[in-house]
C-alpha cells in the first residue's frame, strides 16, 4: 500500500517552476557493464569517482539497480548543483574525460550510458531530518500533456496528509529537465528507507487521507489522479558507497 501511495506523488512540475534561474539539478547516467567485465568496470568506476568526484558540487554517488528493466545496471548521480556549475566541471584538461573513457566506458555494454538532468523540487519534497542513504524506492511517472496544474493540486493534497499524519517520512521529488514523450519518465519520487520490511508496511493511507480531506476524499483523489497520468514504473536502488566519490550522508540544509 505504501508503494502505491508514493507512486501518486509524481507530478509534472517542469512548467510550473521555471522562473528560478539557479535551481538545483542532478546529472545522472545509467551504465550497464559488459557482464564479463563487471570487476574491471567497478574498479575503474570507483577510482574515477574518488579522483574526480570526491567532494563539492561534482561529488558523485553510485547506486546498483536491483529491480525493473534496468536490473543489474548502475546509476551514476552527480549533484546537487546549479546548471551554471556544469561549466566548471572536470573535463578534458584535467584528464577527466580520458579517464572516464578508458576506465569506465571501456567496460560498458554498447548502447549504455543514457544521461539525464533532474531538477529537485524542494517545495514538494520531504526531508525532515538528516539521514544516511541506504535503500531507495524509485518511482517514475508519465504525466498527461497539459495536466501539470491539475496534478500539482493533487500532489499538494497528498503532501498535506504526509505533513499531518506521517511527518517523519523522507522522500524527494525530481522533474526531468530533458524529458521525452517516448520515455514516459517526466518525474520521479525517491523514497529513502533502511530495511526491506518498510516495503510491506500498510500505513492505512486511505483512511488518513479521509481524516484530512473528508470522507470519500481518497476515492475521488484516485479518479482525479488517473485522469492526469498515463502510467508509471518503479525500481529499487541500493547505494554502493565503495564505488562512490562521496558518502551517503544527506544534510537537510543542502536539499532546501
Cβ-based neighbour number of residue 252 at 10 Å: 12
Q: Write the pLDDT tens digit of every residue in 2-61.
A: 544 444 444 334 333 344 568 999 999 999 999 999 999 999 999 999 999 999 999 999
Model pLDDT, residue 131: 94
How far is Cα 161 from Cα 125, in angstroms, rounded to an integer? 13
Nearest to 117 by CA among 182, 33, 211, 180: 180
pLDDT tens digits, residue range 89-131?
999 889 999 999 999 999 999 887 789 999 998 888 888 889 9
Band (pLDDT 50/70/90 cuts) for residue 210 is: very high
> Could you give the C-alpha distances from 252 to 113, 129, 130, 132, in angstroms and in order?
30, 6, 5, 11
CA dihedral 42, 105, 237, 23 (to 10 degrees): 130
At residue 5, the pLDDT reads: 46
Residue 192 · residue 134 · CB < 8 Å: yes
Grid cell, residue 161, equals: 496528509
- Residue 148 banded pLDDT, cuts 50, 70, 90: confident
Give 117 or 141, the one with higher predicted confidence: 117
pTM here is 0.87
31: which strand partners? Answer: 74
Range of the domain at 203: 2-255
Distance of alpha carbon 24 from alpha carbon 18, whole angstroms: 12
Per-residue pLDDT, 193: 94
Buried b or exposed e, range 175-193, using 16+ CB within 10 angstroms: bbeebeeeebbbbbbbbbb
The CATH number assigned to the domain holding 193 equals 3.30.70.100
Give long-range contacts, CB 8 A cutoff, 24+ apart: 89-94. 89/58, 90/52, 90/53, 90/58, 94/52
Beta strands in the chain (DSSP E): 24-31, 60-65, 74-82, 114-120, 131-132, 135-143, 171-176, 187-193, 229-239, 249-250
Quote the number of domains for the chain.
Answer: 1
Contact 173, 125 (CB under 8 A): yes
Q: What pLDDT, on a 0 to 100 scale, did the predictor assign at position 7?
A: 43
**Grid coordinates belonging to 247:** 558518502
Helices 205-213 and 217-227, axial angle in degrees (round to 10): 100
> What's the mean pLDDT when you consider all of the chain?
88
Amino acid at each position: 500500500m505504501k508503494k502505491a501511495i508514493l507512486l501518486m506523488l509524481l507530478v509534472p512540475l517542469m512548467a510550473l517552476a521555471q522562473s528560478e534561474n539557479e535551481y538545483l539539478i542532478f546529472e545522472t547516467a545509467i551504465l550497464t557493464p559488459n557482464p564479463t567485465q563487471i570487476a574491471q568496470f567497478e574498479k575503474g568506476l570507483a577510482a574515477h569517482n574518488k579522483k574526480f568526484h570526491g567532494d563539492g558540487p561534482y561529488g558523485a554517488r553510485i547506486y546498483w539497480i536491483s529491480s525493473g528493466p534496468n536490473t543489474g545496471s548502475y546509476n551514476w548521480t552527480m549533484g546537487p548543483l546549479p546548471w551554471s556549475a556544469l561549466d566548471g566541471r572536470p573535463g578534458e584538461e584535467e584528464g577527466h574525460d580520458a579517464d572516464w573513457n578508458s576506465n569506465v566506458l571501456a567496460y560498458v555494454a554498447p548502447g549504455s550510458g543514457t544521461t539525464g538532468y533532474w531538477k529537485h523540487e524542494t517545495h514538494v519534497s520531504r526531508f525532515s531530518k538528516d539521514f544516511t542513504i541506504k535503500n531507495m524506492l524509485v518511482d517514475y511517472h508519465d504525466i498527461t500533456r497539459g495536466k501539470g496544474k491539475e496534478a500539482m493540486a493533487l500532489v499538494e493534497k497528498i503532501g498535506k496528509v504526509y505533513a499531518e499524519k506521517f511527518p517523519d517520512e523522507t522522500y524527494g521529488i525530481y522533474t526531468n529537465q530533458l524529458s521525452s514523450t517516448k520515455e514516459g519518465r517526466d518525474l520521479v519520487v525517491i523514497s529513502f528507507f533502511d530495511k526491506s520490511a518498510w516495503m510491506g508496511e500498510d500505513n492505512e493511507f486511505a483512511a488518513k487521507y479521509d481524516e484530512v480531506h473528508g470522507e470519500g476524499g481518497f476515492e475521488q483523489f484516485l479518479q482525479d489522479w488517473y485522469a492526469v497520468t498515463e502510467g508509471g514504473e518503479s525500481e529499487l536502488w541500493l547505494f554502493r558507497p565503495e564505488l562512490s566519490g562521496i558518502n551517503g550522508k544527506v544534510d537537510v540544509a543542502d536539499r532546501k
